[in-house]
């Protein structure tokens, strides 16, 4: 029977010392038809292991559903890892961070009264146990001890940065073992004495996360893991981006030198990220350390393998380093070639948002403004509607707006209240009419104490200092709207600028290849190709393109839909390469 164990100095694979050379690749950030290609590129770089998180909210949109089909097929992903002759490390959380919406927690979890997150609290632990009872059997039957690829499983994630509940960690260990996990259980924390102490247990093998100053960080880890192999579970070779900031990059030569120092010291590694992929749809998270900063759509991460699966200078530099510690295949990953270009202009049909929402079911009546949780809106948009009659201008104010509210009177824009700018109010002009407040959840916080906070309008709503009541509320499923064949079907073909907010539809034959949609000149919104959401765009940048994976394109009668919130030029361009933005302020 194959084995993977922790020895006095090394990881032991079938009893022999083994250096884990792993790369992070999240199946839920990559089109499933491209999983095999990305895994193969990892092997060609010299890696022997693939690491993935499991995002609870990807699989459980509601408490009574656990979906493992199609893009959520973790078992198939692990089988593809095995088919490539590689091992796997699985990190099922339940918390993952990962710049992912809510750190992987499903939004419905926080509707449970009294739930206590990331601690040994009964309501939370019951939900966690149900989740792990779904996901761990998929992992257990694919352990190396049963002829599969999985060599290790991580318990929680960087817990020392959040809490210090040892009973909670032990409860997670018990669940893992009860569900048949036989391989080593690991923890990971930043290379910080306090975090490593809080986040681990004597019975678990500690690993650390860092991306530089390797000897110093290994020394800190050794203080808390006095025996056994040293491993950097997240070797940060790049970073993620926020809307309105710059695109992060790191020097390939310096990152390669840091990797070499780690491997030369006998350490094992998980390159984070080897291939980042995409925060498609409404899956990107956010940070809030005093200022709310939503994460962009691209999770390219300046990783060795770019968002479109092509190798970078960092890939070549890392491959050279890895070749000093393992035998390299003769073949390497493909370089990028120019993508097909063109402009979608003719045949566009556009319809304004108001005519769409007036024909939708699902409106709810509310006395006060409810949160998104209270109307079961897990992500995206909610429309709040009421009537006003003002003899003179008055201030419309909320306790908080999470995260961005566009305000309209009789369909005409009044202004925007943006959480990132600490906005909570604006002035309405005098007059009577319909007041609409379109609120966008721009990504739930994925790190720190604000995990699980409510989204939407945090009341009371005040107009001129008096409470404004009598609302109609619509959880707006824009994915369903975009997928409807009836969307804009009766609208005439149009040209010229697109007003906002509106939906635009093109039906055309796209090139069957990886594509890059340019959003330069457009304001803010979402793009879909054949029902697949490419994710958000925003003129704040830094990124000005959206990646279209080739499997999302049919090449015949392709359907492109754009939800534009502010207004755009009307023509949609395909460009030959990604543009993830400026790298300096």
Positions marked active-site: 158, 234
Distance from first CA to last CA of the chain, Å, rounded?
A: 55
φ, ψ (nearest 5 deg) of residue 41: -65, -30
Please check whether residue 278 is in contact with residue 297, taking contact to mean a CB–CB distance below 8 angstroms: yes
φ, ψ (nearest 5 deg) of residue 195: -65, -40
Spatial CA neighbour of 53 closest among 255, 270, 365, 212: 270
User: What is the widest separation between alpha-carbon atoms in the chain?
Assistant: 82
Spatial CA neighbour of 301 closest among 380, 259, 346, 241: 241
CA distances to 110, 120, 317 from 115, rounded to whole Å, are: 7, 10, 47
3-state helix, strand, coil in the chain (%, to 5): 25, 30, 45
- DSSP string computed for 46-87: T--EEEEE--HHHH-SSTT----SGGG-HHHHHHHHHHTT-E
53 sits in the region (left: phi over 0; alpha: psi -120 to 50; else beta) called beta
Determine the Cα–Cα distance for residues 81 and 79; give it in Å rounded to an integer: 5
- 558 burial (CB, 10 Å; 0-12 / 13-18 / 19+) is buried
Contacts with 416 (C-beta within 8 Å, 6 or more apart), sequence order: 404, 405, 406, 407, 423, 426
Is the torsion defined by CA of 211, 215, 219, 222 positive or negative?
positive
- The residue ranges of DSSP E strands in 315-411, in sequence order, are 342-344, 348-352, 364-366, 380-390, 394-397, 400-402, 404-409
According to DSSP, residue 184 is labeled P
Which residues on adjacent β-strands are paired with residue 272? 236
CA distances to 336, 370, 471, 474 from 460, rounded to whole Å, are: 52, 9, 12, 18
193 CB neighbour count, 10 Å cutoff: 13
Residue with tokens 């925060």: 279
Determine the Cα–Cα distance for residues 105 and 56; give it in Å rounded to an integer: 6
What's the token pair of residue 10?
């090394």
According to DSSP, residue 264 is labeled H
Determine the Cα–Cα distance for residues 501 and 105; give it in Å rounded to an integer: 30
């Amino acid at each position: 029977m194959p084995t993977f164990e922790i020895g006095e100095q090394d990881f032991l694979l079938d009893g022999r010392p083994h250096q884990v050379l792993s790369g992070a690749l999240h199946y839920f950030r990559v089109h499933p038809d491209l999983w095999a290609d990305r895994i193969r590129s990892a092997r060609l770089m010299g890696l022997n292991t693939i690491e993935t998180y499991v995002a609870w909210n990807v699989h459980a949109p509601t408490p009574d559903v656990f979906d493992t089909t199609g893009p959520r097929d973790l078992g198939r992903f692990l089988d593809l890892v095995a088919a490539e002759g590689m091992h796997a490390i699985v990190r099922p959380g339940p918390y993952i961070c990962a710049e992912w919406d809510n750190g992987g927690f499903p939004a419905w979890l926080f509707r449970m009264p009294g739930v206590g997150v990331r601690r040994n609290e009964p309501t939370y632990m019951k939900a966690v146990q149900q989740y792990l009872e779904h996901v761990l059997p998929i992992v257990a039957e694919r352990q190396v001890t049963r002829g599969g690829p999985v060599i290790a499983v991580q318990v929680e994630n960087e817990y020392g940065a959040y809490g210090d509940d040892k009973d909670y960690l032990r409860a997670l260990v018990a669940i893992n073992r009860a569900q048949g996990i036989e391989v080593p259980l690991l923890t990971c924390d930043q290379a910080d004495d306090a975090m490593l102490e809080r986040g681990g247990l004597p019975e678990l093998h500690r690993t650390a996360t860092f991306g530089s100053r390797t000897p110093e960080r290994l020394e800190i880890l050794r203080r808390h893991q006095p025996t056994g192999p040293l491993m950097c579970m997240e070797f940060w070779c790049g970073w993620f981006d926020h809307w309105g900031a710059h695109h992060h990059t790191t020097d390939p030569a310096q990152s390669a030198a840091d990797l070499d120092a780690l491997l030369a010291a006998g350490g094992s590694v998980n390159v984070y990220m080897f291939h980042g992929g995409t925060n498609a749809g409404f899956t990107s998270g956010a940070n809030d350390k005093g200022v709310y900063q939503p994460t962009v759509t691209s999770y390219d991460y300046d990783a060795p393998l770019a968002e479109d699966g092509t190798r970078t200078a960092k890939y070549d530099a890392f491959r050279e380093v890895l070749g000093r510690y393992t035998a390299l295949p003769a073949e390497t990953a493909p370089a990028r070639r120019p993508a097909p270009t063109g402009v979608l202009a003719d045949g566009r049909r556009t319809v304004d948002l108001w005519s769409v929402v007036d024909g939708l079911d699902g409106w709810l009546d509310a006395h006060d403004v409810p949160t998104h949780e209270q109307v079961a809106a897990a992500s995206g948009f909610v429309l709040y509607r009421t009537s006003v009659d003002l003899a003179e201008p008055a201030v419309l104010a909320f306790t908080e707006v999470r995260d961005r509210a566009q305000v309209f009177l009789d369909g005409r824009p009044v202004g925007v209240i943006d959480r990132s700018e600490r906005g909570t109010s604006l002035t309405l002009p005098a007059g009577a009419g319909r007041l609409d407040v379109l609120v966008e959840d721009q990504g739930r916080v994925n790190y720190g104490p604000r995990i699980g906070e409510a989204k939407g309008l945090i009341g009371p709503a005040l107009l001129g200092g008096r409470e404004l009541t009598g609302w109609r509320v619509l959880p707006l499923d824009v994915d369903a709207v975009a997928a409807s064949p009836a969307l804009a079907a009766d609208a005439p073909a149009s040209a010229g600028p697109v007003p906002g907010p509106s939906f635009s539809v093109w039906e055309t034959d796209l090139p069957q290849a990886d594509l890059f949609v340019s959003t330069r000149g457009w304001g803010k919104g979402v793009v879909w190709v054949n029902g697949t959401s490419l994710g958000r765009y925003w003129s704040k940048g830094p990124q000005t393109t959206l990646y279209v994976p080739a499997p999302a394109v049919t090449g015949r009668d392709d359907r492109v839909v754009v939800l534009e919130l502010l207004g755009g030029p009307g023509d949609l361009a395909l460009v030959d390469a990604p543009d993830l933005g400026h790298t300096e302020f």
